[in-house]
Each structure stands twice: as structure tokens, then as C-alpha cells.
A and B are shown apart, each in its own frame.
Chain A
Amino acid sequence: MSTSLSPAPGSAPLTRMVTAQALMETRLLLRNGEQLLLAVVIPLLVLVAGRQAGSLLDIGAGRRIDVLTPGVLALAVMSTSFTSVAIATGFERRYGVLKRLGASPLPRSGLLAGKLAAVLLVEALQLAILCSVAAGLGWRPSGGISAVLGVLLLVLLGSAAFASLALLMAGALRAEATLAAANLVYLMLLVAGGIVVPLARYPESVSAHLELLPSGALGQGLRDVLSGSGPGLLHVVVLLAWTIIGTSLAVRTFRWE
């Protein structure tokens, strides 16, 4: 710190830059009312309403709250890592934030690391709230410590897959188009993406395909893990594959300005 205007150039250490970027993006995400609606309020509504409205939403055998909660956690992960990331990045392009940061000492890898860290921070908050409410409603997950590790693995992979798809979308479309498309995709996957409603409840011809979507793989993966079976290899592979597809396409097509 100095008051002199004489040059004293230099980058901050990478960890400090990434931390600053992550905290900044976290604050901005939490400050955004519309995105909080998607991130917390809608998953809570699904949780509470889905538990009551048995006739409207047939989620199959088992205690309703135990079937419902993993899907709601997956929905929360999707809302942040896909919808929020896509919309925020679209507007960062529009407002020249990415352009300005491109001329700063923060490397692009640091920017991406900061973004991913912000996503994980927000998700940790979302999952803490949703798990507490679900527990209050009688949710009893099984599987112990291996279930916790399975959840962490799936949430990480799911976030990576969704975030890479979000960047693919935000880097190619205009900000307004991204806003509309990201919300539309969220709604479609919520209703018919195998994220909240167990795949077994879909017609057999459909469910096999849904399991190949990131939403289906994350939702069903979390339901399996939290009912005591380990994460299925298929779900892990599907999420990894989407991450690789999304990332390699985004790297090629992303326009920074």
C-alpha cells in the first residue's frame, strides 16, 4: 500500500488472486435475488410440497422424504452450477468483465478456478440449508461415511459437468439468450430430466436415456448413494463424459467479449 503513483508492478500470489475471485463471485451470486430463488426457494418448495402432495407427484416406493431429498439436492446443485453460472457468465461477457479481467494479472485458469470455488461454496450453503430442512421433515439417509464421500464425489462431478455446459452456452449466446435458455433448461430438467422424480417412475424406453443426461445421472446417483448403495459406475462415467464434452467444446467456442 502506498500513496505514491510511481510504478510498482507485480501480480499477487495465485492463491490470493483465486481466493479474491472466488469470494467476489460468491458475494455476487448471493446478492442476486432471482438466482437465490432458483438456488434455495424452489428446491425448498419442491421438498415441502413434494412431501405433502403424494397424489400429484408419484415418486414411487420408499419413504417420500427419503426419495425426494436426494433429488432436491441434485436440483440445487444444478441451479447453481448450471443456471447461475450460465447467466452470470453471459452477463460478465456482456458487461466487459471478462474483457477487463483479461487485462489483469489473473490468468484464465485462475478465473475458472475462482468460478468453480464460488460454485462449490454456494452449493455447500445450499446443501447445508436443504439437508437441515429435510432432516427436520424426517429425512433419514443411509450409507454412513461412504455415502458422504459418494455425495461429495457426485456433487463435484455434477458441478463440473453442469458448469462446463453452462460456460459452453454462455460463451456462445448473447446474454439475454443465455438468461432465457438457462432458465428453460432448468425447468425442463426439473420436470422431465430425471433429477427429482426417480428414473424408475419414467417409462422404460425413456429412463435409459434420462440416465445418460447429467441431470438423470446426478439425481439417480445421489438417490442410490443416499439409500445405501455406492455411486454407480454409470453415473460417474456419464458425468465425467459430459464434463469432457462440455469443456472441450467450450474451450473451442468460448468468445471472451
Chain B
Amino acid sequence: MTYGEVIAVDRLDLEVAEGTVTAVLGPNGAGKTTTVETCEGYRRPQAGTVRVLGLDPRRERRRLGSRVGVMLQNGGSWSGVRAAEMLRHIAALHAHPLDVSLLIERLGLGSCGRTPYRRLSGGQQQRLGLAMAVVGRPELVFLDEPTAGLDPQARHNAWDLVRELRDGGVTVVLTTHYMDEVEHLADQVHVIDHGRLVASGSPATLAARGSENTIRLRARPGLDLAGLVRALPAGAHAQEVAPGSYVVSGKVDPQALATLTAWCAAEGLLPESLHVERRTLEDVFLDLTGRELRP
């Protein structure tokens, strides 16, 4: 693997493929920041091996400094520095930086380019941090909760930037606890909790993982389901879970749906409602990490 076997938090093994967007997903305190900061060279793993672009992020940090872009979860700028001035400074440390004015416009920071960092809003500080991570045209960027505190427009704007980075050949590793961010952006997602990897895969395979879809149907109570159960494909079953509320579960595929509607037509039944429900990534996430609140 070009991008190495990365990361050790608690015997955490994961790899990041070149030119992809990888999300590290987990609840607060799961070890997301520790994981990326170990890759960024801020922390020394007590055991195990971390390789970033084939290099040791601590001992060969200097060589990684020009190749890796970093967005910290917060801070990273002087309190009195102006937004554009800070970005220009980071750009000046690189050989072939992006055009700073264009990047500022691109991230909607044009109106606050002369505002001191301490007077920027949380969202503006986040966007500046994102700009600082990409301005040096790195091969690999680590974004620690890049859209925390952004409004919907700014989030979509940031997502567009991440997609463009990937399309340009940049490898992106981001941490998040937003499901929609993972679903919209990530090629690969690694769910971690208590410092351990609990699941890996593409968002789609993860959402489908061990899950069964269901069809919910509302109609008059007391329907005889025997004919439907016989007609459904093997592995699918139907039951009335509450008066007037029916659920088809098990192997729910298009064939099962067709069988159900054919049965409705034969019975002369027009359901009040009919929903095909897919398990979301959020359901899977909550199943994996539990539903209790985190401290």
C-alpha cells in the first residue's frame, strides 16, 4: 500500500488508499483526534507502526511537512493575525501554493480577509483552517472535524472542495461524527469507538451490513396474511405488529415488493401507506457504538 498501514490507538489497524476520501467516524471521545494526530506526528504510539506516505511521521516529520496538509480541530492561528494574512503566511512556506485570493473567495472568506482571527466566527475559523490545510497543494490532507459548526451552505461548499481535492488526486482523511458527511463524501469509512476499530467499509456496504430492509404497510386491521406469506420469496415474512400496522421483513427485495402489491390487488386492498425502509448508516452506527450519551 502506498499510503501505508497507518495508526495505532488501541491495536487499531487501518489503511488508507491513495486518491480516496477516508472518514474516521466515531462518537465524542472515541479516539478520532488521537488517531489522526498520531498520523500527523503529534503523538508517539506506544506500540505498533505508523507510516504516512511511507515515512515515519515523527522521525521524518520534516519531509512530510511539505507533502501533508493539516487542519487541526481548533486553533492554529495567532489571535491578532488577519485571516488572509495567515493564509498567505502558510502559502509562503510552500513551493507551489494555490492562489490565496482565489482560495479565499472559494471558501467565502472574502468579506473577512482583514478581520483578526479572534474576531472571526467559529465557522469562519473552520473555513480558514481548511484553507490552511490545502493551500500548500499537499498529496495528503488530514481534516479533523472539518465541518463542525458550519452552516449548511458552508458545509456543502467544504464538501465540494473535498471532492475536488480527491478528483485532483489528493488523498483525504477526515474525522467526523456526521453521518451525512460520511454518506456524501467518503469512499471508505472506519468506525472507531473506545480507541478500537469496530467496522470498516464503504458507506453503502456498512449501511447494508447484516441489515434487513423492511416494508411497512398501514391498512385496515385483521387482514388474513396467510396467502401473502405463502406468496413471498423464501426468507421474507409478514406480520401484523399492531392493529392495522403490518411489516414485511426478512429478505426484502423488489420481488418481495411486487409480490406484496400483487397480493394487495388480488385482495382489493389499497393501503393507507406503504414505506420501504432501509437501515441508515446512523442505525448501524448507533448499533455499533451504543445509544447511551457520551460524557
Chain A residues with CB under 8 Å of chain B are 1-12, 16-17, 20-21, 24, 27-28, 31-32, 91-92, 95-97, 99-100, 102-107, 257
Contacts and interface: CB of A to CB of B under 8 A. Distances in A.
Interface of B: 40-42, 61-62, 65-68, 70, 72, 74-81, 85, 89-90, 92-99, 102, 132, 134, 136-139, 161, 164-165, 167-170
Closest 9 CB pairs of A and B: A10-B95, A96-B75, A100-B76, A6-B168, A20-B92, A8-B96, A103-B70, A5-B168, A8-B137
A7 B139 contact: yes
A209 B183 CA distance: 69
B98 A1 contact: yes
30 contacts: A1-B96, A1-B99, A2-B96, A2-B99, A4-B168, A5-B168, A7-B168, A7-B169, A9-B138, A10-B66, A10-B95, A12-B92, A12-B95, A16-B92, A24-B81, A28-B80, A91-B79, A95-B79, A96-B75, A96-B77, A99-B72, A102-B41, A102-B42, A102-B61, A103-B40, A103-B61, A105-B62, A105-B66, A105-B94, A107-B62
Nearest to A25: B78
A257 B72 CA distance: 12
Given A95-B77, A102-B41, A103-B42, 16 more contacts: A1-B98, A6-B137, A9-B138, A12-B92, A16-B92, A24-B85, A28-B80, A92-B78, A96-B76, A97-B76, A97-B78, A99-B76, A100-B77, A103-B40, A103-B41, A103-B70
Contact of A104 (B78, B90, B139, B170): B90
Contacts of B90: 104
Contact of A100 (B61, B132, B137, B169): B132
Contacts of A8: 95-96, 137
B169 A6 contact: yes
Contact of A2 (B41, B61, B75, B98): B98
Contacts of B99: 1-3
Q: Is the interface of B mostly helix, strand, loop or mixed?
A: loop
A32 B118 CA distance: 13
A17 B93 contact: yes
Contacts of A11: 65-66, 93-95
A234 B173 CA distance: 57
Q: Is the interface of A mostly helix, strand, loop or mixed?
A: loop
A74 to B, nearest CB: 27
A98 to B, nearest CB: 10
A99 to B, nearest CB: 7
Nearest to B67: A9
Contacts of B85: 24, 27
A1 B94 CA distance: 10
Nearest to B134: A5
A16 B97 CA distance: 14
A20 B89 contact: yes
Given A5-B137, A11-B93, A11-B94, A28 B81 contact: yes
Contacts of B78: 28, 91-92, 95, 97
Contacts of A257: 42
Contacts of A96: 72, 74-77
A14 B78 CA distance: 22
Contacts of A106: 65, 93
Given A91-B79, A106-B93, A257-B42, A9 B169 contact: no
Listed residue (A5, A95, A99) with the most chain B CB atoms within 10 angstroms of its CB? A5
A102 B41 CA distance: 9
Contacts of A91: 78-79
Nearest to B75: A96
Contacts of B77: 95-97, 100
Contact of A17 (B41, B75, B92, B161): B92
A7 B93 contact: no
A9 B139 CA distance: 7
B80 A5 contact: no
B76 A7 contact: no
B164 A99 contact: no
Nearest to A257: B42
Given A6-B170, A100-B72, A12 B138 contact: no
A8 B68 CA distance: 11
B137 A104 contact: no
B280 to A, nearest CB: 31
Contacts of B95: 8-12
A257 B44 CA distance: 14
A105 B218 CA distance: 63
B66 to A, nearest CB: 4
A31 B40 CA distance: 32
A14 to B, nearest CB: 10
